[in-house]
Amino acid sequence: MKRTALPILLFTFSLLLLLALPSCINILTVSAQTDTLSSIDIQVDHTVQIKDGGLVVINDTIRLSTEQGQNIEPLQNFSIGFPFKYQSNLVYCFAYDASNPDERLEVVLNVGLGRIGFYGVNVLFPGLGVDIGDGGSYNFTVVFVFSNLVSSEVFAANGEEEVFFTVDFPSYPSVTQDVSTCNVTVILPYGANYTTSSFEENGLAFNMTTHDLHQMLNHTESPLESFSYEHAWLRFYALPDHVLYLISVNEVKRDIVLDEWSHVLLFDSYYLTNEGGSYRPVVHLPQGAYDVSARDESGDLEVDVEKGNATSYTNVTIYKDIDHKMSATFTVSYRLPREIYIRQDSWRDFVLAFSFFEGFDWKISDLTVTIGLPEGAEFQLDACHPKPQSVEKGVFQETVVFTFYNVTPFHDLGFDLTYRYVIFWASFRPTLWMGVLIAIVCAVVFLWRAPKPPSAPIIPVPTEVLKSFFDSYKEKRRILGELELLEQQVRKRKVSRRRYKVRRRGLESRVSVLSRDLAGLREKIRKAGPRYANTMRQIEAAETELEGAEAAIRRIEIRYRHRELSTETYRTQIAEYNRRRERAKTTIDGVLLRLREEVS
């Protein structure tokens, strides 16, 4: 028995040693770095910029220096981070030499800082490191891009909408060594007006300045202790005649069509949710865009096009107002001049020089770009360019598909796509069309003589019934939005448990009454004919999908809190069910919009 137990104990000890080895190495690395940094002067410019749209960009410019006569080994790396509570909000991080922003530095994500409660990144310096001995210095910048740190509250006052925004962010960078001086600058969006902040409540001295309608708060902390864990919040609203927007862009699909007549056609489909006040979308199209149009589920939309110059985008305002917490989908169609974006390298080799997406200030959760090549063209894979997710080969045409997740304006989205195409293919389609046209004419002549079936009678629905259904459903969704907001507030401890229970009971009671009224109205509308019955079925199917997605999200969050799911699996599943939920909401919004048009 003892002989059997001894090998088991030895195996268990060896396994535990192997599991602990990476953590020990990481701690020793951080410890060695801290010993080196202890003799170096560290200064940080901590700039927090709140972008219109919802992104929060933190630029930490670090200056490392020594005194004259002080000799140290070349620095190989530097670790910096922030409190771990912001880890799930980080969507992108990169670093560069401050004297040359085009020179990107390698960044290792999700490293330990040697202490629990922090998320760290490790910036690796080029070559054999940087030598700052004998009075030398080195400056570099680390950029953190966060999402979902800005929330909004919408109030109705005197018939007008008032929107207040609150942003939560790390007050200071988290560094393993004391920082001699940390200059903090918070830059508000264009046209925003400061109201209050944690700086003011905590009695911290700060200066307020304005530059080009950007209000800026400046605060200096000297010295800044190592492993800073402080977080800050700030509240602001839009100045008169200015609009601040806060949106969640769940999905963007860009279809690029290259036809045999040298046309470049684009169809950009947006799927977004408005998290702020009433929002009218403005999109930026590539240089030279023309023949611009837009449409949604209900038909064509009015657009206002502001042409750009040789170096600027074409700005398009879409006359589709999206209310608070409402989702919408719309598609913008346009053409681009071939001579700007397509070049010919040989008699049969062509290159599309373009970008996957451009001119945006928000995070795109899911970006899909589909490129349809001319009939007869063949895609040429190049090792220097992004690898597509798939290449779909049809009978005469190839389609190249690229997919990206959590895309920000700071990602490099430019690309060159090479394809091989023989111009004689252009004569194939007209010949085929002629044969199809003859077949269609014959079919039309045959069907014209066939007897037409009688149309089904349509029972008109009273206008007051449709209006009551529309108003009741809109009120129900508004209350459900309040319930969702209330859940978020109680999780963030902004509302007491007692007040939460009272408000929740009241809201759920109102939802129950509205659901009962809607059931009766739904039956009246359903009896008006097949078209209205189909409309009600669409709403019911979307409601079922919405309830299923929300239930799945709650189960996933519970499993994640119990540590049954990894962070990557949690994010993937949450993103998938959020897309289902928003798709169902968009379907309901489209049906309600059609009913409102019938009422008006």
Residue 458 resides in a domain: no
Q: Which two tokens stand for residue 435?
A: 């044969």
C-alpha separations of 537 from 467, 484, 547 in Å: 18, 25, 15
Q: Which residue would you say has higher pLDDT here, 94 or 491?
A: 94
Residue 10, pLDDT > 70, answer no
Give the pLDDT of residue 9.
Answer: 58
Q: Which two tokens stand for residue 302?
A: 């009015």
- Domain stop point among 373, 401, 427: 427
At 480, the pLDDT band (50, 70, 90 cuts) reads confident
Edge-to-edge strands of the sheet including 290-296? Answer: 299-301, 290-296, 327-336, 264-274, 247-258, 364-372, 398-407, 390-393
Pair (363, 505) in one structural domain: no
Pair (401, 344) in one structural domain: yes
Pair (189, 252) in one structural domain: no
Residues present in the chain in total: 600
Give the pLDDT of residue 8.
Answer: 63
Is the separation of the CB atoms in 29 and 76 below 8 Å? no
- Least confident range of 24-38, 219-233, 243-257: 24-38
- Give residues with Cβ within 8 angstroms of 63, minimum separation 6: 42, 43, 44, 137, 138, 139
pLDDT, averaged across the chain? 85
Residue 445 resides in a domain: no
What is the distance between the alpha carbons of residues 209 and 52, in angstroms, rounded to a whole number?
19
Residue 209 resides in a domain: yes
Pair (257, 403) in one structural domain: yes
Residue 82 resides in a domain: yes
Q: Find the CATH number of the domain harbouring 136.
A: 2.60.40.1730
What's the angle, vertex CA 93, arms to CA 91 and CA 95, rounded to 5?
170
- Domain stop point among 238, 272, 289: 238
pTM recorded for the entire structure: 0.68
Q: 3-state class of 395 per DSSP?
A: coil
Residue 566, pLDDT > 50, answer yes
Give the pLDDT of residue 302.
Answer: 94
Residue 32, pLDDT > 60, answer no
- Domain stop point among 201, 217, 238: 238
Pair (257, 228) in one structural domain: no
Q: Which two tokens stand for residue 580?
A: 């289902």
Per-residue pLDDT tens for 260-292? 777 899 999 999 999 998 889 999 999 999 999
Q: Which two tokens stand for residue 477?
A: 């969704």
- Give residues with Cβ within 8 angstroms of 487, minimum separation 6: none
Is the separation of the CB atoms in 59 and 143 below 8 Å? yes
- Least confident range of 34-38, 189-193, 459-463: 34-38
Residue 451 resides in a domain: no
Residue 318 resides in a domain: yes
Residue 20, pLDDT > 50, answer no
Residue 474 resides in a domain: yes
- Domain tally, the chain: 3
Pair (194, 177) in one structural domain: yes
Give the pLDDT of residue 76.
Answer: 94
Pair (415, 299) in one structural domain: yes
Pair (232, 253) in one structural domain: no
Residue 441 resides in a domain: no
Per-residue pLDDT tens for 127-138? 889 999 989 999
Give the pLDDT of residue 162.
Answer: 86
Residue 366, pLDDT > 70, answer yes
Give the pLDDT of residue 508.
Answer: 83
Edge-to-edge strands of the sheet including 160-170? Answer: 150-157, 160-170, 231-238, 192-197
Pair (292, 416) in one structural domain: yes
Pair (563, 482) in one structural domain: yes
Pair (260, 349) in one structural domain: yes
Per the structure, the complete domain to which residue 256 belongs is given by 247-427
Pair (392, 486) in one structural domain: no
